Structure 1
Amino acid sequence: MSDRTAPARHPSGVVDGLDRDGDTLREECGVFGIFGHPDASAVVALGLHALQHRGQEAAGIVSFDGEIFHSERRPGLVGDSFSDRSTIERLEGRSAIGHVRYSTTGGTILRNVQPLFAELAGGGLAVAHNGNLTNALSIRRDLVRDGAITQSTSDTEVILHLAARSRSPRIIERFIDALRQIEGAYALVALTNKKLIGARDPMGIRPLVLGELDGRYILASETCALDIIGARFVRDIENGEIVVISEEGIESIRFAEKRPMRPCIFEYIYFARPDSVVNGKSVYAVRKNIGIELAREAAAPADVVVPVPDSGVPAALGFAQETGLPFEMGIIRNHYVGRTFIQPTQSVRELGVRMKHSANRAAIEGKSIVLVDDSLVRGTTSVKIVRMMREAGAKAVHFRIASPPITYPDFYGIDTPEREKLLAATHDLEGMRRYIGADSLAFLSIDGLYRAMGEERRDNDCPQYTDHCFTGDYPTGLTDLAITGPKRLAMLAEAD
């Protein structure tokens, strides 16, 4: 889910003049819903807490008590907003959906915090969205021209408008009409007066699972959200499938033709929690396998293997296991650094990496080390970490990246810089090594990544995963990407 309605990113990398300072990939959102449970809102809050890694900027819950929809949407972490009893008590009802959010563009403003809610002709509809629509800007332009009044700058609002304008008599049919007009990546949970609805995009890019607790069905972005409440995993929602949960049970509807699924490979590399199972594969096991494949392809003359915490830990374990080198926590992460910590001057900003990561001198001094990280984006953080290792006494620093080079931006909800600011898109391997200051640098190959996923290699004719950040192979239409120059600026002005 993005703040602006699918801002088209030109192949050159220009993104509406935005300049992000971050050097990490960020997932956009997590969703959770439960139907017919006496403690629905409390269960949703717990589920969102387990999904906090998917978005830390804001959280929201919408519940239905049989007559009225109740909504609480707030900036900040789940625990800061939904831990007090009074808030949960205001969210009355036996059914609820929730959302954690990281905005891919724009500012965090309350009207963009999800779930979004609207009163339709057939009753209320609340929607929470994980992903990004790649034709929402075009749709939004047409809606505004036709007289629609928008309340947010979120692409999710487009879904509500399309459902409201559908001529179908039932809300579920209106919802399906809306889905058939959008493109991109999405996992949706929606709540009506009588139903909990889940939907996954036709390629299955974004994850969505079905669970069960005390005989009541649950929808969630990841299985870790089921584990935290003691729920049972039932199955993955299929690509192009809608599930409709009501007092009568569960119904499956296919809204898109059957096609091979292409889930986002970055869920396994970085985004999903390591204790989750995504599309039948243990994220932790895949990340260890990635480290094993990386060691086979790019071993280094070193004394110890050091992960860049936290996401680099499983891959570093696999690397150490395959090479027989000792595994050491040479970098300690401070988990208590808030994202809004004030950094008033450039000199203080330069110390920011030390607020999050500190060198464990006893583990690395006088040693040649292999640093294992999950990905390399801009490279600015890597520069600081390599420097930190040298200042702590490392004799040599060999950097190993547990994914292929990121050379293309994302349009499906991952917060990536424009292409001209992706280090691997502007430098060759030696140029990247010199830039970050490492003694050697190596990436996992694309086929090595697929081997870690249990495949022999990448099938170039029919790829098994969505891997466009490495290959430039975008699996869906990118309608808004074609909007450039004055025409695009005019559309943006209309959208605002």
Structure 2
Amino acid sequence: MSAEIVMPRPTEECGVFGIYGPNEEVARETYFGLYALQHRGQESAGIAISNGTEIELHKDMGLVSEVFDNDVIDTLKGDLAIGHVRYSTDNANLHVNAQPLVFRYYQGMLALAHNGNLTNADSLRRTLTATGSVFQTSTDSEVIVNLIAKYGQSSIEESLMKCMIDIKGAYALVVMTENKLIGVRDPYGVRPLCIGKLNDAYIISSETCALDTIGADFVRDVEPGEIVVIDETGINSRKAMTAPRQATCIFEFVYFARPDSVIDGDGVRNARRAMGRQLARENPVDADIVISVPDSGTAPAMGYAEEMGLPFEEGLMKNRYIGRTFIQPSQKMREQGVRLKLNAIASIVEGKRVVMVDDSIVRGTTSRKIVKMLRDVGVKEVHMMVSSPPVLYPCYYGIDTSQRDELIAAEHDVEYIRDHIGADSLYYLSQEGILSAMQNPPEKFCMACFNGDYAIDVEGKGDTNGR
């Protein structure tokens, strides 16, 4: 079973941050912003900074705290900066793929950071290569870079608008010239992007939690299909493209986003707690206590306990100090699996009928090991509650949920999964239930991983709409 431990959860590609602030310490603010977005990517981190004439870049593999220190930050001087934290969805965790990408083209220097995944990247790459473009990375982001260069005789705003006609899929971009900061969100709004203000500085960020970290005020979300340009004249906006519908990723609220973030007016923690309450309404069980799989299972577990009138207890302790040392553990450590990250608190759960709430089950490996851990300390019953519907389809928009045949719910029914993980019962939140927990209307969310209804066509996958 040791091979199954790899990628026990879906993983999100990255987080982006940018600041235009002539009177601010923009490198340091970007560092703090990336620190707040670290949950969105742990493989690499980078900051590009402009002094008005040149763009300087520092990036490397590792966590934000490993890539940057005070000495590095002190060398990054300028008035505007963009930053990036990355998790690769294609296993290409190479230094050359770290972002931001910085390049020279017809108009001067440009830096770009991207969150998401292009669904037509392969065909665009082939076309660009055939006409003379050169690629150094394996990222979708470099396709966007080459398209900007292709349209380089136009202004950067016009170049980006032309790019948006060509590219398909999910993208939240921060782009920086020598004197402009630009935010771009795809027409479906799959990935989050917001605007903040700190004194006279403007910020663009994947999540509002980064704004809170640096003491900035939230201004608004970048609208789907919008290009936001910030320069010495202030903030300017244009609606570049429209789509038939909005399709914000529901998994941002299930797992990816930090609980203290707000996306398109929906508070993440409030949504997760509402998911837990709805889960209790749909699936009440007799139990003594409710515990969570921390951290993203905590808010729905509290909601479940609240609705059922049961005590919520901290039955699993998370080790928050596991860093990159454990990314490639020894075989003995690998066999320990989840115990590196979680430990059951026997005094809380022993002899109890326990409801355990987690945000999702993708492959089933993690859930199985946690249930066994609880059994080993004498739990009487384990009732597994999942605060999202079964993950039945892979995501092509920037989340690594692997192939469909590796998704346990796509291959097996609930009873098989219950038996596989060793729980006394297993219940999922319904598709209708998860949508009822949101403030925004159901038609504004992408639920493709649950229902196969892909809002954006996926290259090489045939008709993905309404599957």
Give the TM-score of the pair, scaled to structure 2.
0.96
Deviation, 1:91, is 1.6
- Alpha-carbon contact 2:266-2:439 (below 8 Å) kept: no
Once the two structures are overlaid, the 10-residue window that deviates more, 168-177 or 431-440, is: 168-177
Cα separation, partners in 2 of 1:39 and 1:480, compared to 1, 3 Å: farther
Counterpart in the other structure of 2:179: 194
- Alpha-carbon contact 1:137-1:480 (below 8 Å) kept: no
Runs of 5+ consecutive residues of structure 2 not aligned to the other structure? none
Counterpart in the other structure of 1:160: 145
Once the two structures are overlaid, the 10-residue window that deviates more, 277-286 or 30-39, is: 30-39
Q: Which of 23, 46, 49 is the matching residue for 1:63? A: 49
Matched position secondary structure for 2:249:
coil
Cα deviation 1:99-133 (Å, max 9, x = unaligned): 00011112321110000011110111110000000
Residue 96 (str. 1) matches residue 86 (str. 2): no
Counterpart in the other structure of 2:268: 283
Cα deviation 1:423-462 (Å, max 9, x = unaligned): 1001111111111110000000000001111468x5xxxx
Code of the aligned partner of 2:165: R
- Alpha-carbon contact 1:180-1:255 (below 8 Å) kept: no
Q: Which of 218, 222, 233 is the matching residue for 1:248? A: 233
Q: Which of 436, 441, 445 is the matching residue for 1:451? A: 436
Q: How many residue pairs get matched?
A: 459
CA distance in 2, matches of 1:74, 1:281: 34
Runs of 5+ consecutive residues of structure 1 not aligned to the other structure? 1-17, 484-496
Residue 469 (str. 1) matches residue 446 (str. 2): no
- The equivalences for 1:33-72 within 5 A come to 33-37=18-22, 38-72=24-58
Deviation, 1:477, is 1.6
Deviation, 1:340, is 3.6
Matched position secondary structure for 1:285:
helix
Residue 236 (str. 1) matches residue 221 (str. 2): yes
Code of the aligned partner of 1:187: A
Q: Which of 451, 459, 467 is the matching residue for 1:479? A: 459
Matched position secondary structure for 2:433:
helix
Q: CA RMSD in A?
A: 1.6
Cα separation, partners in 2 of 1:455 and 1:243, compared to 1, 3 Å: closer
Counterpart in the other structure of 1:6: none
CA distance in 2, matches of 1:312, 1:272: 13
Counterpart in the other structure of 1:319: 304
Deviation, 1:285, is 0.6
Once the two structures are overlaid, the 10-residue window that deviates more, 170-179 or 111-120, is: 170-179
Q: Which of 309, 327, 330 is the matching residue for 1:344? A: 330
Counterpart in the other structure of 1:5: none
Q: Which of 195, 203, 209 is the matching residue for 1:218? A: 203
Code of the aligned partner of 2:337: G
Matched position secondary structure for 2:434:
helix
Deviation, 1:315, is 0.3
CA distance in 2, matches of 1:380, 1:368: 22
Q: Which of 28, 33, 38 is the matching residue for 2:13? A: 28
Cα separation, partners in 2 of 1:368 and 1:117, compared to 1, 3 Å: same
Q: Using CA pairs under 8 Å that are at least 6 residues apart, name the structure with larger relative contact order, 1 or 2.
A: 1
CA distance in 2, matches of 1:41, 1:175: 25
Deviation, 1:344, is 2.3
Deviation, 1:245, is 0.5
Counterpart in the other structure of 2:95: 110
Residue 394 (str. 1) matches residue 374 (str. 2): no
Identity of aligned residues (%): 49
Code of the aligned partner of 1:473: D
CA distance in 2, matches of 1:20, 1:356: 12
Deviation, 1:156, is 0.2
- Alpha-carbon contact 1:290-1:315 (below 8 Å) kept: yes
Counterpart in the other structure of 1:302: 287
CA distance in 1, matches of 2:54, 2:70: 20
